[in-house]
């Protein structure tokens, strides 16, 4: 394990880059385990927080931009996204800014929420600053939980907690990467809509040009 610790120390920039990319796509679980590792002194919790914050912020800004510019065409191409988009828009209608600040924490709607918000009448400037605040709250919450759990395990297990944190982080990255690839393959298979099926239209009101 000392070799692994030294490897992370010598190549820390790559680790934080992976955290940025992972949170750009999605992934609170990897932040929990990374926070756990930070409690063992393996990674810097402040840098972990910054990378998770910026990754999550940039990812949702990208999905918002895609929804704003290509949302209608993508929904026609992938009609199975429609239920998730409608759910996110209904939450937005009910809670407005509260939904933008909290959708990362809501299971079942997070993945399509930023895309759906791009289809709504929310101005991009408003989404920008609310998304920045929300990404910070999300990153701080999960880093803090992982960090706290890491200290709890360290108090109970002592030096064994360091090895446990490394093993669990490595296992999760490996399993998570495999599941992500399988998910992509499954989505490609589901994207093959039978001929003659007419995709549903877009319910949301698009903003004026």
CB-based contact 67:179 (threshold 8 Å): no
CA dihedral 95, 101, 105, 106 (to 10 degrees): 20
Predicted pLDDT of residue 137: 95
* Residue for token pair 């929804």: 67
For residue 13, is it within any domain? yes
Predicted pLDDT of residue 207: 47
CB-based contact 34:168 (threshold 8 Å): no
CA dihedral 146, 148, 149, 153 (to 10 degrees): 130
For residue 122, is it within any domain? yes
d(CA 205, CA 209): 12
Least confident of 6-20, 36-50, 92-106, 188-202: 188-202
Mean pLDDT of 109-128: 91
Please state, for a pLDDT cut of 90, what percent of the chain lies above it: 38
Structure tokens at 208: 């004026």
For residue 200, is it within any domain? no
For residue 201, is it within any domain? no
Task: Evaluate if residue 132 carries a pLDDT over 90.
Answer: yes
For residue 208, is it within any domain? no
Question: What tens digit of pLDDT does each residue of 76-105 get?
Answer: 998 888 998 999 999 998 898 999 999 988
Domain membership of residue 124 as a residue range = 2-190
Count of alpha carbons within 13 angstroms of residue 66, beta-carbon side: 13
* Residue for token pair 């599941």: 179
Burial label for 21, CB within 10 Å (0-12, 13-18, 19+), is: middle
d(CA 123, CA 109): 20
Q: At 56, is the pLDDT very low, low, confident or very high (cuts 50, 70, 90)?
A: very high
Predicted pLDDT of residue 166: 56
d(CA 95, CA 60): 19
For residue 203, is it within any domain? no
For residue 197, is it within any domain? no
The total of structural domains in the chain comes to 1
For residue 206, is it within any domain? no
pTM for this entry:
0.72
């Amino acid at each position: 394990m000392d070799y692994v610790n030294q490897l992370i120390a010598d190549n820390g920039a790559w680790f934080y880059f992976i955290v940025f990319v992972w949170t750009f796509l999605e992934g609170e679980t990897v932040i929990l385990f990374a926070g756990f590792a930070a409690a063992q002194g393996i990674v810097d919790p402040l840098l972990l927080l910054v990378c998770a914050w910026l990754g999550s912020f940039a990812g949702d800004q990208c999905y918002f931009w895609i929804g704003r510019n290509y949302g209608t065409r993508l929904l026609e191409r992938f009609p199975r996204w429609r239920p998730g988009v409608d759910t996110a828009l209904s939450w937005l209608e009910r809670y407005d800014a509260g939904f933008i600040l909290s959708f990362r924490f809501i299971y079942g709607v997070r993945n399509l929420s930023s895309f759906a918000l791009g289809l709504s009448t929310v101005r991009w400037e408003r989404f920008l600053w609310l998304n920045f605040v929300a990404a910070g709250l999300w990153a701080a919450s999960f880093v803090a939980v992982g960090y706290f759990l890491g200290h709890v395990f360290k108090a109970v297990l002592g030096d064994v907690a360091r090895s446990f944190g490394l093993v669990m982080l490595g296992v999760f990255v490996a399993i998570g990467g495999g599941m992500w690839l399988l998910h992509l393959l499954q989505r490609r298979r589901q994207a093959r809509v039978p001929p003659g099926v007419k995709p549903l239209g877009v319910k949301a009101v698009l903003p004026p040009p």
